[in-house]
Each structure stands twice: as C-alpha cells, then as structure tokens.
Structure 1
Amino acid sequence: MAPTPATELPSLDRESPLLGHDDATIIFVLGGPGAGKGTQCARMVEEYGFKHLSAGDLLREEQDREGSQYGDMIKQYIKDGEIVPMEVTIKLIENKIVDVIKTDKGAKFLIDGFPRKMDQALKFEEVVCPSVFTLFFDCPEDTMQERLLNRGKTSGRADDNAESIKKRFKTFVETSMPVVDYFEKQGKVVKISAVPPPEEVYEEVKRQLVERGVVQDKFEWVEQGEYKQAATG
C-alpha cells in the first residue's frame, strides 16, 4: 500500500516526556498474537484497578469512528497484517492516558500490544512517559495459532484467520521481539510463560507485580484463624 503522507499524521515533536512516574505508572504488555495478554490484563484490572489500554482496540475503535481522518488508513494496515504508523498509535494512547489522569493522577496503566516496534518504544518514552517495565507473555507459535483459530470462530475479527495469523506471527518476530530484547538488556522485562492455564499464569503475574513493587503484600485474617497472603494495589 502507498505510504501515508506525513502531513496526515499527528505531530510527536516534544523535547521531553509529557508525563513522569508521579503522573502515571506505565507497564507495557507484550506477547505474540494469542498469548493471552487481554485475558491477563482483564484480571489485573478487576483485582487491582489497573487501566487497560489495548493498542489494537484503540485502533479498531478509531477506524470505525465517524469522521476519523485515520480510519481508512488503519483499516488497510490491519487487513494487511502491517503495523499502523506510530504517530497515530502513540497519539491515541496518549489521549487516553491524559483523560484518565485528569481525575486519577498516578493511575496504573497496562498498555497491551504496544510497543510493537523499536521506533514506537523509543518515541513513546521520549515524548509521553517512561515505562516501569514490560510484561512479556512467552508462548510457542503453534499454541498461539490454535488459540486464535478457535477465537476466530466467534470473535468476528477480520484478522483471526489463517492467512492473517501467519502474517501477524512474522511481524511479531521480526519487529516486536527486538523491543523485548532491548528492554531486557535494561532489566525492564518480566517474562512469564503463557502456556499453563490462565489461572496459573495469573498467579505468576501477581507474584511478579509484588516483587516489582507495583502492588503490595498484605495479610488477611480468615475464619479458620489463620493468615493468608494476598496482594493489593
């Protein structure tokens, strides 16, 4: 497809990040398509009150928004299994964060499926807000493919089909894994196996959140007269 003219893209010119850690706690959530990112994010939202921002959902909402100047462009990129220009994705995420912290300064955000390329990672931290770490769900390709094909039977998503899935896997390996490697060298990656059942995966997620100081331990008294450990935001 033809490149989108730069004049149609949002400007990301800024000399320093718009926000700091006091304004928002940013956790990137990465993993191949079908690794279970959305499922785990939903559990963290329910238990700890995280704000879940799915880059993919934001783009799909924007492509269907009446009057959007980016809608047709986003639709074509998603259909082709390609990555939407970072200016659009970053601006949509930034707008959501800013809206939330107007009334909830210091909110904790899970940014799901982002950054998918090195330029996105560097630009977001340069102009929006530095992340505290990346939560990476590690999952074999055959497992992810099986999950996506099953989801495609009911999801209605145009990209939950064998052809699009193959493109998405290739894109993830070539463009997103370097992002994981980059943050891992900085000690900013929490890697979690996404192969076990969702409940087991989530228990490991909680343990890692506690260890990283994002949520805190507390002890609750239960009827049997024993203490049990629980995590709280």
Structure 2
Amino acid sequence: MGTVVDAAPIKATNESLAEKKKPTVVFVLGGPGSGKGTQCSNIIENFGYTHLSAGDLLRAEIKSGSENGTMIQNMIKEGKIVPSEVTIKLLQRAMEESHNDKFLIDGFPRNEENRAAFEAVTGIEPSVVLFFDCHEKEMERRLLSRNEGRVDDNIETIRKRFRVFLESSIPVVEYYESKGKVRKIDAARPIEEVFESVKVVFTPKNEKAN
C-alpha cells in the first residue's frame, strides 16, 4: 500500500477558519441610518444567514468579565481604538462556534486596515459586499426621528458619524468594487422596496430564471 505521509508538509494545527469551515461571508456596509439593521433581519429570516455585529460582540465580551473584555473596556474608556485583531478574533470565534456556514457581518470592516487584517487573519474574502447607499439628508432625518426630544444634542454627533463613515468606510467599498464584489442598494426608498433589491442579491441565479 502506498503512503501519502510525505506528499505534503504537515500543516500547523492552527488551521485557518477558511480551511476548516469554508464559510460564506457577506459584509454589510452603509452609513448610520441607512437601514442596515432592518435589512439584516429580513435577510436572516428569508435566507438563513447568521448575523454578526462587531459592536455587539465587543459589548458581549466586556459584559462577560473576561480578561479580554476588561482590556477592551479599558481601551474604550481611554478613547483608544480597539485593535483590528481583537475584533476579528471575536468574529472568528463566533463563526467557529456557530452551526451555520453563512454569515452577515454588519458594520465591519470599518476601514481599510480592518479589511486587510480580516483577510490576513481569517483567510476569508467576502463573497459579496452589500452597500446600503443612502443620501445624508435622509439618514439624518431617520436618525433624528428616532431620537425623541434629543435633536439638538445629537445633530452634531450624527454629522460627525457621517464624516467618519465617508472617510473610513468608502475606501473599503471602493476596494471591493474594484474586485466586482459590491452590490449597491438604493437605501433611500421604503423598507419593502429596498428588500426587493436585496432579495435579488441573495436569490440563486437558477431561481431568478424561473
């Protein structure tokens, strides 16, 4: 009987998530108030994806009281940015622990450094980047209508969030656009109309034809 022992070098045990699970990853990007959360809920319900929010995972880690959580909390308190690797490890762990192999990653990567680190650490490129494109006036209107009675406090904060999104996240969208991975959705329309466009992205080609 032949042997395959020497056919390839033995791999390190820390096999990447991409090799172990081969997950389908969709990045969901859009400015504050673009309706990402609502549409993520619709996608989960209709297409069986697991929703992962970087912010939620960081908050859960802090709440757990772990050593890692304390470190994250201290960094946030000091106004420091949590390193990409920390957030990515939390995302990676959540994917590994899930029984699913299809993931919506919401609000991440926030910038080019996040993007490069995610691909380097996990070995995964997104299959699609869903970009909810919504003009600033509409996003502002939506956010202010949520903030009952606190309009004056928040208008400046909201505009600052828009600026950060444009400066940090648009380069990520442009990078994936150059690779043909971006599906731009006009998110200024009513929720139902937006979801009709989203469905086209997630419906297999053979089903669209029928």
2:105 aligns with 111
- 8 Å CA contact 1:26, 1:109 repeated in 2: yes
What does residue range 219-230 of structure 1 map to in structure 2 within 5 Å?
none
1:141 and 2:127 aligned: no
Q: How many residues align?
A: 192
- 1:166 corresponds in structure 2 to 159
What is the Cα-based RMSD across aligned positions, in Å? 2.8
Q: Give the match for residue 114 of structure 2.
A: 120
The structure 1 residue matched to 2:125, chosen from 114, 127, 130, is: 130
Maintained 8 Å contact 2:33/2:139 = yes
Task: Look up the SS of the partner of 1:153 in the other structure.
Answer: coil
The residue number in structure 2 matching 1:203 is 196
In the aligned structure 1, how far is the partner of 2:137 from the partner of 2:20? 38
Larger Rg: 2
Distance 2:61 2:148 in 1: 24
Q: TM-score, normalization: structure 2?
A: 0.80
Determine the structure 1 residue equivalent to 2:73. Answer: 71
Q: Structure 2 matches for 1:10-25, cutoff 5 A?
A: 17-20=16-19, 23-25=22-24
CA–CA distance in structure 2, aligned partners of residues 55 and 218 of structure 1: 32
1:23-34 paired onto structure 2 within 5 Å: 23-34=22-33
Alignment CA distance shift 1:138-1:85 (3 Å)? same
1:99 corresponds to 2:93: no
Unaligned runs of 5+ in 2: 1-13
Give a deviation string over 1:103-155, Cα, whole Å, max 9, x none: 34xx210000011111111111122122112000000111111212222339x
Shift in Å, 1:17: 4.5
2:185 paired with 1:192? yes
Q: As a proportion of its length, which structure holds more helix?
A: 2
Partner Cα distance (2:65, 2:59) in 1: 12
Where does residue 3 of structure 1 map in the other structure? Answer: none
